[in-house]
């Protein structure tokens, strides 16, 4: 038995001992496939698709539709997402169904007469929404690489919306906390409250209007959303609320096939999302900067490794602000940014004993509300793997439900740079590369990622968390490759994050020991801030799958209430 598999078994034993005391198993093994997502109900939907002979693409699409029902803060019909796929025959594919700016959008649409950003316009208004892409993307992916019909994979979502499901504390609590932000929108209040009163755990939550929209998609495919009754309802919602998405915007929306970013790290291939996401480029860039250093020897959690990662993050996020945007509109120097030579040059000023100082462009900002996006990892026994990240942007998007259609609209327009060097909700800066233009896709941080070992899928991962998505994925990948952690350890390990500006490190409570904190401070890392409460006390939600000698290990991030479910696990119930 190899050292790695012996370690896996030992860790499995230790982890099972922990699980014996825990209510919800977060890590499971299954030789037939695996689905890990933020919603236990949606993971089960995906595992059932695998159990009935569907492939990972069928399962991912089915989970995508189910999440719009069972995890409405981020699962969506009115938002967008990215899917990175490795097919059993070795093909690597990325589907971009990011929202795009409506044709009537303008560069300065969120500025007042004095050129200042109007607070809330890009996050809490009908103008906050980009043209939704999720439905087009899911249907295109299914048609190209799935093995099942749309009617089969969408049916579980329809049933869940129509018949409802029992709310747990997690979801009922979310609705309660959000109630105030739905008050201005009667259609939102109708969905997420009982006549204005909060739902309680144990209540049945059904969504008849959403079921109707899903039925129309089942019957007419993309036209069930981008034309006919659903499109009419979206346009009417826009007219009533002063938004600008038109029937033509909806009709014209197309998902795009992209060439994934293909990095290499210590002999592993790291496949991730290209622009309009910054995720794949930055992940590759940071791994390239770290590669010359012996992270394993330095030790996980050591001040040396943390310092290296912070400095890689600082430089990569500075490049993000300057260079990253929708590559259909702006010439993003992808090759340069992802090359080993560039990483060497960019990291040449790294001082192992001293923190660099990010240019002092603006004071640190705190995001104004909870961040939300969600990630699904799927693998099947045939060798197909799917990393899928989807979002409305902030939690529950714009908070605006389309009247009569039952789904939330995104507030993704905030991911554009509304004004040069002014922070968005995640404190991220941008310039010309990410300025608003009609039809352009706003820059994302979503990083759905598949790591290949000997050309076979080893790790499928990704996360929500706005700007922290990329550094969360970096840490999971490094934990597996550098520190040889099993998946339970790699996903559970406490996280930290730096994004160049604001010049501070945010970290989970246990990420740094007292000694490490002192050592980091000595190097000049003065702003070590425990993660603010609005993050929910943790960074990221890395629902992931790892291929091991004893089957696929699925891990739902223990920071949240997700679940990993395999087809055999399901049969055993
Ligand atoms: N809306 C978060 C992201 O795409 O990065």
Using one digit for the tens of pLDDT, what is the confidence trace for 399-421? Answer: 999 999 999 999 999 999 999 88
Closest CA to 374 of 352, 393, 346, 350: 393
Pocket test for ligand 1, best of 282, 283, 375, 415 (most atoms within 8 A of CB): 415
Enter the tokens of residue 261. Answer: 């970013």
In this structure, the strands spanning 92-97 and 256-258 are antiparallel
Pocket test for ligand 1, best of 75, 469, 471 (most atoms within 8 A of CB): 469
Closest CA to 144 of 257, 273, 258: 257
Determine the Cα–Cα distance for residues 226 and 236; give it in Å rounded to an integer.
13
> Edge to edge, what strands does the sheet with 449-453 contain?
27-30, 551-555, 544-548, 456-461, 449-453, 268-272, 261-265
Give the DSSP letter of residue 564: E
Task: Scan for tokens 């036209």, then name that residue.
Answer: 223
Give the DSSP letter of residue 371: B
Name the least confident of 94-98, 212-216, 315-319.
Answer: 315-319
Q: What is the whole-number distance in angstroms between the Cα of residue 446 and the centre of ligand 1? A: 6
Determine the Cα–Cα distance for residues 158 and 417; give it in Å rounded to an integer.
37
Query: Which residue has a Cα nearest atom 4 of ligand 1?
Result: 444
Residue 522: partners with Cβ closer than 8 Å, 6 or more residues away:
none
Using a pLDDT cut of 70, give the percent of the chain over it: 92
Q: What is the whole-number distance in angstroms between the Cα of residue 552 and the centre of ligand 1? A: 28
Q: Of ligand 1's atoms, which has the minimum distance to the CA of residue 442? A: 4
Determine the Cα–Cα distance for residues 437 and 416; give it in Å rounded to an integer.
9
Specify the pLDDT at position 368: 35
| Collapsed DSSP state (helix, strand, coil) of residue 67 | helix
- Report CA torsion sign: 67, 71, 75, 77: positive
Q: What is the whole-number distance in angstroms between the Cα of residue 522 and the centre of ligand 1? A: 34
Q: What is the whole-number distance in angstroms between the Cα of residue 443 and the centre of ligand 1? A: 7
Determine the Cα–Cα distance for residues 492 and 484; give it in Å rounded to an integer.
14
Closest CA to 564 of 550, 544, 535: 544
Q: What is the whole-number distance in angstroms between the Cα of residue 411 and the centre of ligand 1? A: 10
Specify the pLDDT at position 427: 82
Determine the Cα–Cα distance for residues 212 and 406; give it in Å rounded to an integer.
8
**Measured in whole angstroms, how far is the alpha carbon of residue 92 from the centre of its chain?**
19
Enter the tokens of residue 537. Answer: 């006390």
Using one digit for the tens of pLDDT, what is the confidence trace for 321-374? Answer: 999 999 999 999 999 999 999 999 999 999 999 999 886 323 223 333 456 899
Closest CA to 570 of 50, 27, 39: 50
Specify the pLDDT at position 533: 62
Span 37-48, mean pLDDT?
98
Q: What is the whole-number distance in angstroms between the Cα of residue 444 and the centre of ligand 1? A: 4
Q: Of ligand 1's atoms, which has the minimum distance to the CA of residue 464? A: 2
Angle at 461 (CA atoms; ends 152, 483), nearest 5 degrees: 150
Q: What is the whole-number distance in angstroms between the Cα of residue 117 and the centre of ligand 1? A: 20
Q: How far is CA 180 from CA 167, 189, 195, 454, 535, in A?
A: 19, 9, 13, 51, 19
Specify the pLDDT at position 14: 34
Longest dimension (CA), the chain: 69
Specify the pLDDT at position 24: 44
Specify the pLDDT at position 426: 85
Residue 405: partners with Cβ closer than 8 Å, 6 or more residues away:
209, 210, 212, 213, 230, 233, 234, 237
Helix then strand count (H, E) for the chain reads 20, 19
Residue 11 has pLDDT above 60, yes or no: no
Give kind and range of the element (H or E) at residue 137.
helix 134-145
Q: Of ligand 1's atoms, which has the minimum distance to the CA of residue 391? A: 1
Cα(first)–Cα(last) distance of the chain, in Å? 31
State the pTM of this model.
0.92
Span 265-293, mean pLDDT?
98
Active-site residue set: 373
Q: Of ligand 1's atoms, which has the minimum distance to the CA of residue 469? A: 5
Q: Of ligand 1's atoms, which has the minimum distance to the CA of residue 412? A: 1
Q: Of ligand 1's atoms, which has the minimum distance to the CA of residue 394? A: 1
Give kind and range of the element (H or E) at residue 139.
helix 134-145
Q: Of ligand 1's atoms, which has the minimum distance to the CA of residue 415? A: 1
Q: What is the whole-number distance in angstroms between the Cα of residue 418 and the centre of ligand 1? A: 15
Pocket test for ligand 1, best of 98, 325, 393 (most atoms within 8 A of CB): 393
Pocket test for ligand 1, best of 428, 445, 471 (most atoms within 8 A of CB): 445
Using one digit for the tens of pLDDT, what is the confidence trace for 140-153? Answer: 999 999 999 999 99
Angle at 408 (CA atoms; ends 403, 411), nearest 5 degrees: 120
The set of protein residues with a Cβ atom below 6 angstroms from ligand 1 is 373, 391, 393, 412, 415, 444-446, 466
User: How many other CB atoms are found less than 10 A from the CB of residue 344?
Assistant: 13
Determine the Cα–Cα distance for residues 141 and 147; give it in Å rounded to an integer.
11
Residue 8 has pLDDT above 90, yes or no: no
**Measured in whole angstroms, how far is the alpha carbon of residue 103 from the centre of its chain?**
26
| Collapsed DSSP state (helix, strand, coil) of residue 33 | strand
Residue 7 has pLDDT above 60, yes or no: no
Closest CA to 220 of 295, 145, 136: 136
User: How many other CB atoms are found less than 10 A from the CB of residue 70?
Assistant: 25
Query: Which residue has a Cα nearest atom 3 of ligand 1?
Result: 444
Burial annotation 240-261 (CB, 10 A radius, 16+ → b, else e): ebebbbbeebbeebebbebebb
Query: Which residue has a Cα nearest atom 1 of ligand 1?
Result: 393
User: How many other CB atoms are found less than 10 A from the CB of residue 150?
Assistant: 22
By the 8 A CB rule, do 61 and 54 touch? no
Span 212-223, mean pLDDT?
98
Using one digit for the tens of pLDDT, what is the confidence trace for 467-513? Answer: 999 999 999 999 999 999 999 999 999 999 999 988 999 999 999 99
Average pLDDT of the residues of the chain: 92
């Amino acid at each position: 038995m190899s050292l790695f598999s012996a370690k896996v078994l030992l860790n499995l034993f230790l982890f099972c001992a922990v699980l014996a005391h825990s209510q919800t198993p977060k890590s499971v093994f299954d030789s037939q496939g695996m689905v890990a997502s933020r919603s236990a109900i949606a993971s089960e939907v995906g595992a059932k698709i695998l159990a009935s002979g569907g492939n990972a693409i069928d399962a991912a699409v089915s989970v995508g539709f189910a999440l719009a029902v069972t995890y409405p803060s981020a699962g969506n019909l009115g938002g967008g997402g990215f899917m990175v796929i490795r097919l059993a025959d070795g093909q690597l594919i990325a589907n971009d169904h990011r929202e795009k700016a409506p044709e009537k959008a303008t560069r300065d649409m969120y500025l007042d007469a004095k050129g200042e950003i109007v607070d809330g316009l890009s996050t809490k208004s009908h103008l906050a929404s980009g043209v939704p892409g999720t439905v087009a993307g899911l249907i295109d992916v299914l048609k190209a690489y799935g093995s099942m019909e749309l009617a089969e994979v969408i049916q579980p979502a329809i049933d869940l919306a129509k018949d409802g499901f029992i709310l747990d504390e997690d979801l009922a609590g979310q609705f309660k906390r959000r109630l105030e932000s739905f008050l201005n929108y009667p259609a939102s209040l109708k969905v997420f409250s009982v006549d204005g009163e909060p739902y309680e755990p144990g209540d049945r939550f059904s969504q008849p209007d959403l079921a109707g929209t899903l039925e129309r998609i089942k019957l007419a495919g993309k036209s069930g959303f981008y034309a006919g009754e659903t499109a009419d309802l979206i346009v009417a919602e826009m007219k009533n609320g002063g938004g600008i998405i038109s029937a033509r915007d909806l009709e014209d929306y197309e998902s795009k096939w992209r060439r994934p970013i293909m990095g290499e790290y210590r002999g592993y291939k790291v496949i991730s999302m290209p622009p309009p996401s910054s995720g794949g480029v930055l992940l590759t860039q940071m791994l390239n900067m770290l590669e010359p250093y012996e992270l394993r020897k330095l030790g996980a959690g050591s001040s040396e490794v943390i310092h290296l990662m912070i400095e890689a993050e600082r430089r990569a996020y500075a490049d993000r602000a300057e260079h990253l945007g929708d590559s259909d509109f702006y010439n993003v120097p992808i090759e340069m940014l992802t090359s080993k030579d560039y990483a060497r040059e960019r990291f040449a000023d790294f001082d192992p004993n001293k923190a660099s100082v990010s240019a002092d462009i603006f004071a640190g900002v705190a995001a104004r509300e909870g961040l939300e996006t969600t990630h699904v990892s799927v693998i099947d026994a045939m060798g197909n793997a799917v990393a899928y990240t989807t979002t409305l942007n902030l939690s529950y998007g714009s908070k605006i439900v389309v009247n009569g259609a039952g789904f939330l609209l995104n507030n993704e327009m905030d991911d554009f740079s509304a004004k040069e060097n002014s922070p968005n909700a995640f404190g991220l800066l941008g310039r010309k590369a990410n300025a608003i233009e009609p039809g352009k896709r706003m820059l994302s941080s979503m990083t759905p990622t598949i790591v290949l070992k000997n050309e076979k899928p080893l790790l499928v991962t990704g996360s929500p968390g706005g700007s922290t998505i990329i550094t969360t994925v970096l840490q999971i990948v490094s934990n597996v490759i550098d520190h040889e952690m099993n998946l339970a350890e790699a996903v559970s390990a406490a996280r930290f994050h730096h994004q160049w500006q604001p010049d501070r490190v945010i970290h989970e409570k246990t990420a740094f020991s007292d000694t490490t904190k002192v050592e980091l401070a000595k190097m000049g890392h003065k702003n070590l801030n425990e993660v603010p409460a609005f993050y929910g006390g943790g960074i990221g939600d890395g629902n992931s799958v790892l291929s091991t000698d004893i089957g696929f290990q699925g891990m739902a991030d223990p920071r949240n209430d997700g679940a990993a479910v395999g087809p055999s696990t399901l049969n055993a119930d």
